[in-house]
Amino acid sequence: MPFEEITYDVDAGRAYIRFNRPEKLNALTPLLLQELNDALWEADDDRRVHAVCISGTGRCFSAGYDLGGAAVARRPSSSEDGPKRRSGATFDDDIWFLEKAQRLRMVLFDMHKPVIAKVHGYCLAGGTDIALLTDMVIAADDAQIGFPPARDLGVLPNHMWLYHCGPQWAKRLMLTGDTVTGRDAAKIGLVMKSVPADLLDREVDGLLARLALIDPDLLAANKRIINIGLELMGARTLQRLAAEMDARGHVAPGAHEFMESLREDGVREAVRARDSKFPDGRVRVDEPEIRDADGRFVEPD
């Protein structure tokens, strides 16, 4: 099965899926999400595969969604009888497109076989939408994990955060768009574990090797009972609600201002201008966060 924006390999009971847009920091596109969906179902159907690893090529796991096309309004196809396709111009259109992307991601929750996210470098915005739907996240100690677009673009369309790190840390990260290191993410339960970056490959491969010793049907049974438990706690319903709440966030004045900046100044400048207001944007999990008037960390007296 040929792919353009991911790579897919099977070896020794393991399927390896790698985002393959290193020059774009593995920014997620509609094509990449579709290819990821196809590859995951292929792995789930392949009796040789016991477990799956998702990672990114180059400098990071994924820096988020590719915003290059976001500044260009969708153009509806039309006929004499009116538009034939959704354009994204209405509130319901926005929800519809968000749910379409969500269906592609939810394969991670629905598929029978376990999936590990191997996170290095940036895991931001849309990158977290993928990672936090996997069954286990193992991160490099120095990885940067967060959702900066919560500052001015919308609501996190994947709301597994609540189930991983609890309501208070979920709010702390969502309400500011601040990031945590892989090491601190492990402390609060946002990821399962962090290790030094030079040991990340060995750590993940070691766990995959252990999973490869287990009958895939037993792996499926144990994964699915836990995920059914999450469903009983509302996890699946919350994902659908997240798409609707994200559409609500898109009509906020701050979101309109960001999109205008995106159209006029381009992605790089719009993101730089947003994040420049939040210097030292990393959370300190178990140390005081004392900042000066500019928002930079200072050591307490």
User: Which string of DSSP letters, residue by residue, matches 73-88?
Assistant: PP---EETTEE-S--S
Q: In what order do the strands lie in the sheet with 136-140?
A: 6-11, 14-19, 51-56, 115-119, 136-140, 193-195
> Is 17 within 8 Å of 51 (Cβ atoms)?
no
> Is 190 within 8 Å of 165 (Cβ atoms)?
yes
- Tell me how crowded residue 225 is: count the other CB atoms within 10 A of its CB: 9
Give the pLDDT of residue 79: 55
Look up residue 238 and give its amino acid: L
Give the pLDDT of residue 77: 53
Write out the chain's pLDDT in tens, 301 residues.
689 999 999 999 999 999 999 999 999 999 999 999 999 999 999 999 999 999 999 999 999 999 876 544 444 555 565 567 887 789 999 999 999 999 999 999 999 999 999 999 999 999 999 999 999 999 999 999 999 999 998 888 889 999 999 999 999 999 999 999 999 999 999 999 999 999 999 999 999 999 999 999 999 999 999 999 999 999 999 999 999 999 999 999 999 999 999 899 998 899 999 999 999 999 999 999 999 999 999 988 7
Contacts of 132 (CB under 8 A, 6+ apart): 158, 160, 161, 164, 190
Give the pLDDT of residue 68: 79
Q: What SS3 class is residue 115?
A: strand
Give the pLDDT of residue 83: 64
Q: Report residue 48 as tokens.
A: 């040789």
In angstroms, the CA 205 to CA 14 distance is 9
* Element of type H or E holding 118: strand 115-119
Residue 150: phi and psi, rounded to 5, are -60, -15
11 HSE (CA, 13 A, CB side): 6
Give the pLDDT of residue 71: 46
> Is 67 within 8 Å of 78 (Cβ atoms)?
no
- Provide the terminal-to-terminal Cα distance of the chain, rounded to the nearest Å: 60
Domain 6-75+83-275 CATH superfamily: 2-enoyl-CoA Hydratase; Chain A, domain 1 (3.90.226.10)
Helices (H), 106-252: 107-110, 126-131, 161-174, 182-188, 200-211, 216-232, 235-250
Give the pLDDT of residue 78: 54
Q: Are strands 179-181 and 144-146 parallel, antiparallel or unpaired?
A: antiparallel
Give the pLDDT of residue 163: 97
Phi-psi domain of 256 (left: phi exceeds 0; alpha: psi -120 through 50; beta: other): alpha
